[in-house]
Amino acid sequence: MKIMVPVRRVPNPDVKVRLKKDGSGIETEGVNFLINSFDEFAIEEAVRLTEKDGGEVFLATVGGPENEETLRAGLALGAARAYLVDLGGTCLDSSGIAECLAAVYAQEKPDLVIAGKQSVDTDNNQAAQMLAARLGLPQACFAYKLTLADGKATVEREIDGGLETKEVDLPAVITADLRLNTPRYAALPQIMKAKRKEVKKVTLADLGIEPKSRTRILTLVEPPARKAGQRVASVDELVDKLLNEAKVI
């Protein structure tokens, strides 16, 4: 079995990012970038499946040369090789990213695509679904349990008020929730081996595509500061403030 795992380079979610003065993006100087945390769950699940049934896992990312570091981190988690689609300095939205991933899929013809359910920087939760639509493949999102058998994938996922089980034919696109597994720790030997694994660098011309973004970011702004809390002396005072000041009751 061949499994494709798209990955994304994101700012460290534990560090507060700073916006550029013109609101066009975030300041990247001195910012630590990591592999998207949901993508780690996807890699772990893919590696476990191939360890059990045989096959290989390859990664794919879209961006600039700086993304090679992210791919090496994913390779250290057990993937065999990787694709880096170099955009040559341009930026793409989720639709454009999906088009690039679809072109990589067309070259490799994997049996399964497992992606993180969303990126922790933009939280768009779009690229995997758009990829499935472009490829005409069934999809099952937010998996917390995945089972493969007889050419089908059975996905269990949490929904409001309970659990839902979906069965899809392979090949398919599946997105991983954080309850799917516990990603392994990349030990030093695996990190050293990852440096020697193949990272195939391709351009949009190599893939024969000219993706276009359908959206653009106008500006980024800081969220409004939260007001300080208040202490009240009694339940009656609390009810009065909720009723007359906050107007929530």
DSSP secondary structure string for all residues of 34-56? EE-HHHHHHHHHHHHHHHHH--E
Q: Please check the confidence at residue 221 and state whether its pLDDT lies above 90.
A: no
Contact indicator for 101, 116 with CB cutoff of 8 Å:
no
Structurally, at CATH architecture level, domain 2-224 sits in: 3-Layer(aba) Sandwich (3.40)
The DSSP 8-state label assigned to residue 131 in this structure reads H
Total-model pTM: 0.87
Per-residue pLDDT at 148: 95
Phi, psi of 70 (to 5 degrees): -65, -40
Q: So where are the chain's domains?
A: 2-224
Q: Where are the beta strands (DSSP E) in the chain?
A: 2-6, 9-11, 33-35, 56-63, 81-86, 112-116, 139-149, 152-159, 162-169, 173-176, 199-203
Orientation of helix 67-75 relative to helix 37-53, angle to 10°: 40
Q: Please check the confidence at residue 26 and state whether its pLDDT lies above 90.
A: no
Query: Each residue of 182-191: pLDDT tens digit?
Result: 999 999 999 9
Residues 128-150 have a mean pLDDT of 95
Per-residue pLDDT at 23: 81
